[in-house]
C-alpha cells in the first residue's frame, strides 16, 4: 500500500516552535527540530535518508509521515542589469513571481505572499490580476530555498541573498500567520539566520495588522504610502478608505515605540502630475513628524493598460530635495529589471482570480 501524501506533513510549513511541537508529539526530543532545520535550510537537503544526524528509525518514520514539498521554477529571466525573475509553479492553476536584485553591497530577494492581490492599488499591475489565495508558509519560505539553490548559496558560504523584502505579489498582512511563520524561519539561527533588520515586510496600511505585528515580530516595517492626503490615497490605495492616513501614521508611531526600530521605510511611487509637487513633498515632511522615517521614492514602472506616467527626473529630484531639507533621509530607488517586467508593481504570475474585493474585514477579525 502506497504512502498517502495528503496525510503527510510538509515540514516547510513549520517554523522552529512548530517543528519542536511536531517532534514532541512523536515522542522525540526538541533538538531534533534544530537538526532537521539545518539539513533543510543550511545544507539544502530534502531527502530524509540523507539526514545522517538522525537515527535510521527516525529517518524511516519521517519518510512515512512527512515530506519536504517545494514550489518549482517554471522559467527564469535575467535582466541586462543582472536582476533575475523566476516564475514559480504552486499548483495546476496558479503561479507567482519572485525577483532577485543584486547590488554592490547586498543581494535582495523580493518574495510573494499571495497569488494575486485583493487590494487593487491603481498603479500596480499585480492587483489587476485579481486574487486567488494565500500562500502557505512552505510556499513563502520555499521561494527563498529555491532562489538560494539557483544562486549557489550552499551552506550560507559567500551568501548571495543578504536581504529579504516581502514586497512581491500580494498584501502580506492579509496572510499574517503564514508570513510571520516564514519570516521566523528567515531569522532562525538554525535556518537562514538573517538579522531582523534584513527582513522587511511591506504593507499598504492595514492598521490592526500593524499593531498585531508589533506584538508578534521584530522585522523591519515598510509602508506603501504614495499620497499625502486621503482623497488622493483613496484612489491610489483603496484600503485607505478603511484606514485613513492619520490612523496609519499613528499605527507607525506605535510600532516604532514598541519595537524601538531605527527607521520605518515609506514607499512613495512618483506619478507625473498626480503626487509629485513640491507642496506635496512639504506635506510629506509634516506627516513624518514623530516617526523615525526613511523615504524611498519609486519611479513609476508602466504596465499595459495604465494611464499613469512616471514623474520626470527633474520633478523627482526637486521632491527629494524638499524631503532632505526637511530632515528626512530619502533615496530615489533605481529601477531594476524593467526589461523583464521585474520592477516594482510589475509582477503578475498566473492567477485564477476569485475576487478583487477587499479582504481587510478578515484581518480585523484576526487582529
Contacts 24+ apart (CB under 8 A), 232-238: 232/274, 232/275, 235/122, 236/121, 236/122, 236/123, 236/271, 236/274, 236/275, 237/119, 237/121, 237/204, 237/205, 238/119, 238/120, 238/121, 238/122, 238/358
Q: Are 315 and 332 in contact (CB under 8 A)?
A: no
Which residues of 13-150 form beta strands (DSSP E)? 66-67, 72-78, 84-89, 95-102, 107-110, 114-116, 131-134
- Catalytic residue (one of 121, 252, 310, 344): 344
Which candidate, 119, 102, 101, places its Cα nearest to that of 111? 101
Instruction: Decide if 215 is catalytic.
Output: no
- Catalytic residue (one of 97, 139, 188, 267): 97
Which residues of the chain form beta strands (DSSP E)? 9-10, 66-67, 72-78, 84-89, 95-102, 107-110, 114-116, 131-134, 163-166, 199-203, 220-224, 264-270, 293-299, 329-332
Instruction: Decide if 252 is catalytic.
Output: no
> Which grid coordinates belong to 120?
487593487
Q: How many CB atoms lie within 10 A of CB 54?
A: 19
Q: Label the pairing between strands 114-116 and 107-110.
A: unpaired
Instruction: Point out the residues that are catalytic.
Output: 97, 344
Amino acid at each position: 500500500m502506497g504512502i498517502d501524501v495528503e496525510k503527510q506533513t510538509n515540514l516547510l510549513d513549520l517554523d522552529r516552535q512548530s517543528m519542536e511541537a511536531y517532534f514532541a508529539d512523536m515522542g522525540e526530543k526538541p533538538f531534533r527540530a534544530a537538526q532537521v532545520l539545518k539539513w533543510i535550510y543550511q545544507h539544502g537537503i530534502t531527502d530524509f535518508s540523507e539526514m545522517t544526524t538522525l537515527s535510521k528509525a527516525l529517518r524511516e518514520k519521517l519518510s512515512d509521515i512527512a515530506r519536504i514539498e517545494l514550489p518549482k521554477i517554471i522559467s527564469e529571466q535575467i535582466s541586462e542589469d543582472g536582476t533575475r525573475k523566476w516564475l514559480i509553479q504552486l499548483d495546476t492553476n496558479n503561479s507567482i513571481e519572485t525577483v532577485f536584485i543584486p547590488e554592490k553591497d547586498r543581494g535582495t530577494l523580493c518574495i510573494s505572499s499571495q497569488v494575486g492581490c485583493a487590494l487593487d492599488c491603481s498603479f500596480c499591475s499585480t492587483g489587476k490580476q485579481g486574487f486567488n489565495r494565500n500562500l502557505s508558509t512552505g510556499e513563502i519560505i520555499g521561494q527563498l530555498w529555491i532562489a538560494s539553490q539557483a544562486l549557489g548559496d550552499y551552506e550560507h558560504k559567500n551568501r548571495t541573498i543578504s536581504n529579504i523584502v516581502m514586497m512581491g505579489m500580494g498584501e502580506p498582512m492579509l496572510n499574517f500567520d503564514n508570513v510571520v511563520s516564514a519570516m521566523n524561519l528567515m531569522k532562525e539561527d538554525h535556518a537562514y539566520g538573517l538579522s531582523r533588520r534584513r527582513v522587511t515586510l511591506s504593507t499598504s496600511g492595514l492598521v490592526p495588522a500593524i499593531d498585531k505585528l508589533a506584538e508578534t515580530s521584530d522585522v523591519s516595517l515598510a509602508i506603501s504610502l504614495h499620497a499625502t492626503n486621503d482623497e488622493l490615497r483613496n484612489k491610489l490605495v483603496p484600503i485607505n478608505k478603511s484606514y485613513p492616513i492619520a490612523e496609519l501614521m499613528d499605527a507607525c508611531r506605535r510600532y516604532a515605540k514598541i519595537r524601538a526600530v531605527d527607521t520605518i521605510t515609506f514607499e512613495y511611487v512618483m506619478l507625473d502630475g498626480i503626487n509629485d509637487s513640491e507642496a506635496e513633498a512639504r506635506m510629506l515632511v509634516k506627516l513624518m513628524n514623530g516617526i523615525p522615517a526613511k523615504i524611498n521614492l519609486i519611479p513609476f514602472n508602466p504596465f499595459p493598460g495604465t494611464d499613469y506616467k512616471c514623474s520626470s527626473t527633474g520633478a523627482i529630484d526637486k521632491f527629494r530635495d524638499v524631503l532632505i531639507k526637511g530632515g528626512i533621509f530619502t533615496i530615489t530607488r533605481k529601477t531594476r529589471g524593467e526589461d523583464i517586467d521585474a520592477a516594482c508593481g510589475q509582477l503578475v504570475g498566473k492567477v485564477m482570480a476569485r475576487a478583487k474585493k477587499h479582504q481587510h474585514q478578515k484581518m480585523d477579525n484576526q487582529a
